Structure formats: C-alpha cells, structure tokens
C-alpha cells in the first residue's frame, strides 16, 4: 500500500485526457499533473531540447514524492522510448510502449495504423516499438497537423464539417491500407474519437495511449502492492508554467468532466534551476 500521488506531465493540457483515464481506472489515487504550457509545443523542438525539458519536468514532478511518473506527452514518449532513467527508482512510463503493446494484442489482420503529430510520425517510434514486439506486423503512419489546432479551438462536435473533412483527408491513406487497429498517438485525438471512428468504421479498434498508460500503471501498482488504500475519491492537483487561468479555462474539454481543484503556477526559473 502506498498513498503517494501518481505524477503525470505533458507539454500542455492535452495530457489531461490521460488524467481522465487515470481518474476512471484508478479512482482512489491522487494525481499531480504538470503542464509545461510556457514552453509548448515540444513537437517542433530538437530531440536534445525535448530530453532536457523532460528531465526538468520529471525533476519538478519528483518534488511531490510521487510513486510513479507518467509522460503523457506523445513527443516526450517518442523521444525517450522505454529508457528514461528517473535516478532513484521511481517507476516511469511514457504512453508509447503501453499503446504499442495494446495495438499488438488487438490486431487480427496484422496491419496497424498510427496517427500523431508530424514529429511523432517522423520519429517512427511507434513502428519501432511495435516491430520490437511483433516483427511480422505492418505499421502505416500519417501525421495529422491540423487535429491539435482543431481540438484546441473547439471544432470537436461529431458533425463538425471542417474536422470531418480534415479527418477524411488524413485517414484515407490509412483506411486504404486495411488496418484493423488505429493508435491515436497524440493526447488531443481522443477528444475527436467519434469523428475518427465514424470515418474508420466499426471494424477498426481505436487505441488511446492515455488509457493504455493508465492500465499499465494499474497493473504495475497492483502487482507491487502499491495501490492506495484510500476509500474516498483521489484528488487532482495541477501545475502549469504559463497562465493558470487559461489552464483552468481550457481544462474541461480535455478532462471530459467539470474542472475541480486549483492550478498553481511554476516559474521557468524553478524548472531550470539545477
């Protein structure tokens, strides 16, 4: 038993879709969330910079004596792979490996699609992770650069014509390859899950990396007897490096629930101080 919080971080607020899954699957756990909103987007930075930021984010999260660290950010997860060292034995996971494993388990046809930011797709990280597990599988990727701005600007209703057109354009090459599993490789995409699913059809299983990361953490904490014994619902605590008002304002859409709790400001100076 361990009542310490689980730490989750992301370049912004997209990682709140993962927090929603943690709240659902691990309802009695406390969550400490850090969104590095002052330095987003990570996706366009060099790998060196991404790793430096990730290290600083982890150092900040660890100050809260967390029992598990989760990189909800697809870009960070793709950059660090499975090999992030947290230095003192705090378990760590990105969203990449749990999602890759879930996709390998779910496919029948052996053909898996991946969508993500251009940086995630260019990195080929999902393909490498999947082929490391099952070298016989075929992986087809496509970057969807408009999805993040569409979600962030509220073009998310199932019948939104603009997002439906963008989805058709991005997903056609993947649907044409007859995949039966599609990894939504960016924190924002579960928000438009209906639109993606409507285009791909009922026979395609959608994988949400945030959900798979939550399942992975649940399994590890169960196995190591580190689940909380709290009987009431756990609490979420939020930190952001840019405007806390903006964070709270935008959080609801990503959490899929009323935003409760306080957002605290973290200065860049605090993040970068050695």
Q: What is the contact surface with a copy of itself in residues (CB under 8 A)?
A: 44, 145-146, 148-150, 152-153, 155, 161-162, 165-166, 169, 242
CB of 7 to a copy of itself, least distance (A): 25
CB of 166 to a copy of itself, least distance (A): 6
Catalytic residue chosen out of the listed positions 73, 179, 191, 200? 73
Give 67-82 as a DSSP string. Answer: SEEEE--HHHHHHHTT
Q: Are 120 and 43 in contact, with CB atoms under 8 Å apart?
A: yes
Tokens of 130: 């999947």
CB of 246 to a copy of itself, least distance (A): 9
**Angle ∠(98,99,104) on CA atoms, nearest 5:** 100
**CB nearer a copy of itself, residue 68 or residue 147:** 147
Query: Among this protein's residues, is 186 annotated catalytic?
Result: yes
CB of 12 to a copy of itself, least distance (A): 10
- The distance from CA 150 to its chain's CA centroid, rounded to whole angstroms, is 17
Catalytic residue chosen out of the listed positions 186, 214, 227, 271? 186
**CB nearer a copy of itself, residue 152 or residue 198:** 152
Tokens of 200: 């791909």
Tokens of 11: 């370049």
**CB nearer a copy of itself, residue 252 or residue 265:** 265
Query: Among this protein's residues, is 104 annotated catalytic?
Result: no
Kind and range of the H or E element at 199?
Answer: helix 193-200
Q: Residue 45, SS3?
A: coil
Active site residues: 73, 186
């Amino acid at each position: 038993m361990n009542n310490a919080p689980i730490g989750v971080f992301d370049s912004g607020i997209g990682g709140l879709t993962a927090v929603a899954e943690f709240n659902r699957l691990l309802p009695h756990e406390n969550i400490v969330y850090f969104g590095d909103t002052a330095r987003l987007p990570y996706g366009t930075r060099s790998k060196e910079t991404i790793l430096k930021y990730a290290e600083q984010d982890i150092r900040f999260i660890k100050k809260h004596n967390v029992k598990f660290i989760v990189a909800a950010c697809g870009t960070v997860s793709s950059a660090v792979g499975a090999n992030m060292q947290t230095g003192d034995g705090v378990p760590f996971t990105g969203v990449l490996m749990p999602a890759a494993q879930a996709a390998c388990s779910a496919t029948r046809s052996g053909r898996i699609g991946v969508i993500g930011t251009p940086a995630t797709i260019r990195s080929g990280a999902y393909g490498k992770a999947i082929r490391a597990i099952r070298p016989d599988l075929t992986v087809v990727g496509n970057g969807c650069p408009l999805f993040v701005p569409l979600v962030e600007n509220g073009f998310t209703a199932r019948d939104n014509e603009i997002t439906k057109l963008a989805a058709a354009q991005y997903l056609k090459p993947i649907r044409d390859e007859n995949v039966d599993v599609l990894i939504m490789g960016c924190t924002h995409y579960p928000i438009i899950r209906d639109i993606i699913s409507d285009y791909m059809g009922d026979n395609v299983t959608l994988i949400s990396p945030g959900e798979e990361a939550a399942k992975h953490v649940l399994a590890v904490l169960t196995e190591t007897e580190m689940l909380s014994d709290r009987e009431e619902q756990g609490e979420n605590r939020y930190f952001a490096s840019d405007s806390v008002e903006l964070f709270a304002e935008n959080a609801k859409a990503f959490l899929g629930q009323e935003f409760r709790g306080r957002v605290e400001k973290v200065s860049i100076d605090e993040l970068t101080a050695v």
